[in-house]
Amino acid sequence: MITSKTISNGILRALLTLAFCGLILLFFYQIQSVLIYLVVSFIMTLIGNPILDFFKRRLKFNHIFATIVVLFIFILIIFGFIMMFVPLVLSQGQNLSLLNTVEIEKDIVQLIEQISVFLDSHQIDSAQLLKEANVTSKVNFNFIPNFLNTILNTISSLGVALGSILFITFFFLKDRLMFIVGAKKLIPNSHEDQILHSLDKINHLLSRYFIGLLLQLFIVFLLYMIVLFIFGVPNAVVIAFLCAVLNIIPYIGPLIASVLAAILTMLSNLGSDFQSEILPTTIYVLIGFWVVQIIDNNFSQPIIFSKSVSSHPLEIFLIILIAGFLFGILGMVVAVPIYTIIKVIGKEFFPENKIIMLLTKDI
């Protein structure tokens, strides 16, 4: 029989549970920097594991020495990137006025005036067209400088976090066997083999995925830069860098990159004649970027999103699309790794399920 005391106790337990969950979320919010360090270290560990195994198997390094060498390689890459690339991006960003909202707004207004003259010369009522579009009021001029400043600030702030991330990564690499032994003590004996095999498979697939993703971004950056150099676009390095970073967002990123490349190409050539130089150069750059994206979509992305995680391209496309609708851009970025983890766990624990058998036949 349900009494008032039973109801009050139930309500009290529910309130205590909600309060406890709230405290846990608040705790995670307060230590969000530490969680970011752990995630970055985990990704670096996934990238470093194949290199570590190569040094141990092929070059016969002992485990500690191989770990130190892998960490040293990471330090060289990060230090080389910061010393060689960031000053170049910073200087070109200043030349392009990307670090100054007022300057970029002034440049875009000047560009709109040139477009108006071009439209008027072709018997198109630019005043009415621009009035209806109301471009200047709709464009957020903070977007481009904020985007570049965010990237540069993130890279520079890594100087504070770099020691922590490298320290954590070192122990993730060095003590991975100890972590497995510790996990065995916590895992129920009835599921030990399944869980350990799942972790091993997830580690293998995600290592391939993140290594492939880095390679893809580097290839896209080089191809973008070649296109910009071919057509003589000033500040080619920073434009290629910004557009390559956007490729982290599957499918949508390259489209945004094309629009950004067109805007920055026009801003880079503001002193030139719009009809004879700015417009043709922008069209050529867009065509070049679309060719790069065709190459990327047909070669790089299938290898990374399909081969590396053993999934069909249509399957990956639908997962990214669903994640984008549900969780936005962040969902699109993390969709493939999370989906891969779910597939591996599903295959290990529900191998007889027909749907899981169909989705995991290549794993």
> What pLDDT digit, counting tens, does each position of 286-316 carry?
999 999 988 887 777 777 777 777 777 788 8
Residue 330 backbone zone (phi > 0: left; psi -120 to 50: alpha; other: beta): alpha
Element (H, E) at 360: none
Share of the chain above pLDDT 70, in %: 76
In angstroms, the CA 156 to CA 159 distance is 6
Helix axes 192-230, 176-186, angle to 10 degrees: 140
**Assessment of whether the complete model's pTM goes beyond 0.85:** no
State mean pLDDT over 42-47: 88
* pLDDT tens-digit series, residues 88-123: 666 655 555 554 555 556 666 667 777 777 666 666
At 172-216, the pLDDT tens digits run 888 887 777 776 677 777 777 777 788 788 888 888 888 888 888
pLDDT tens by residue, 221-275:
999 999 999 988 877 887 888 888 888 888 788 888 898 888 888 877 776 777 7
Distance CA 125, CA 117 (A): 10
Q: How far is CA 180 from CA 56, 61, 174, 321, in A?
A: 19, 21, 12, 35
> What is the SS3 assignment for 230-279?
HCCCCCHHHHHHHHHHHCCCCCHHHHHHHHHHHHHHHHHCCCCCHHHHHH
Number of CB atoms found within 10 A of residue 290's CB: 13
